[in-house]
A and B are shown apart, each in its own frame.
Chain A
Amino acid sequence: MRQLVPLTITFCVGTLLIVSVFIPPLGDLERTFTLWFDIIAVFAFFLGGGNLLRVHINKLRRRKTDWGFSIVTLAGFSTMLAAGLFKIGNPGDIATAVDAPGSMFYTIFDSVVVPLGSTMYSLLAFFVASASYRAFRAKNREATLLLVAAFIILLGRTPFGLMLTEWVPDSFSLLQIPNLAIWIMNSPNLAGQRAIMIGIGLGVISMSLRLILGIERSYLGGDNA
Chain B
Amino acid sequence: MEHFALWLSAFLTLGILSFLYKDNPWYKLSEAVFVGISAGFWFVTLFWDNLVGKFWDGWQDEPMLWVGAVLGFLMLLRLVPRIGWISRWPLAFIVGATSGLWLMNYLASNIMVQVQATIQSLLSTSYASGYDAGWGAMINSLVIVVGTFTGLVYFYFSKEHKGAFGGAARVGIFFIMITFGASFGYTVMSRMSLLIGRIDFLLGDWLGLIN
Residues on A lying within 8 angstroms of B by beta carbon are: 2, 5-7, 9-18, 21, 30, 32-50, 52, 66, 69-70, 72-81, 83-85, 97-99, 105, 107-113, 115-126, 128-129, 132, 141-143, 145-154, 157, 183-202, 204-205, 207-209, 211-212, 219-221, 223, 225
Contact = CB atoms under 8 A, between A and B. Distances in A.
Given A69-B32, A98-B45, A212-B100, 8 more contacts: A34-B101, A37-B94, A42-B51, A43-B72, A76-B36, A123-B16, A147-B181, A220-B88
Nearest to A53: B39
18 contacts: A9-B96, A17-B97, A36-B71, A39-B54, A74-B36, A76-B32, A76-B34, A84-B40, A113-B37, A116-B30, A118-B198, A150-B184, A150-B188, A183-B140, A187-B147, A190-B147, A197-B114, A212-B100
Contacts of A223: 85
A38 to B, nearest CB: 5
Majority secondary structure of chain A interface residues (helix, strand, loop or mixed)? helix
Interface in B28-68: 28-48, 50-51, 54-55, 58, 62, 64-65, 67-68
Contact of A187 (B43, B94, B140): B140
A36 B173 contact: no
B104 interface: yes
Contact of A153 (B38, B69, B181): B181
A38 B182 CA distance: 36
A42 B71 CA distance: 11
Contact of B91 (A36, A48, A154, A219): A219
Nearest to A84: B44
B12 interface: yes
Interface residues of B, number: 115
B68 A35 contact: yes
Given A74-B36, A98-B44, A145-B178, A195 B147 contact: yes
Interface of B: 1, 5-6, 8-9, 12-13, 16-17, 19-20, 28-48, 50-51, 54-55, 58, 62, 64-65, 67-69, 71-73, 75-76, 78-79, 85, 88-104, 106-107, 109-111, 114-115, 117-118, 140, 143-152, 154-155, 172-189, 191-192, 194-195, 197-198, 201
Contact of B44 (A6, A15, A105, A123): A105
A116 B103 contact: no
Given A17-B104, A69-B28, A188-B175, A113 B41 contact: yes
Contacts of A47: 75-76, 78-79
A108 B37 contact: yes
Contacts of A30: 101
Given A52-B39, A132-B184, A219-B95, A36 B67 contact: yes
A116 B151 contact: no
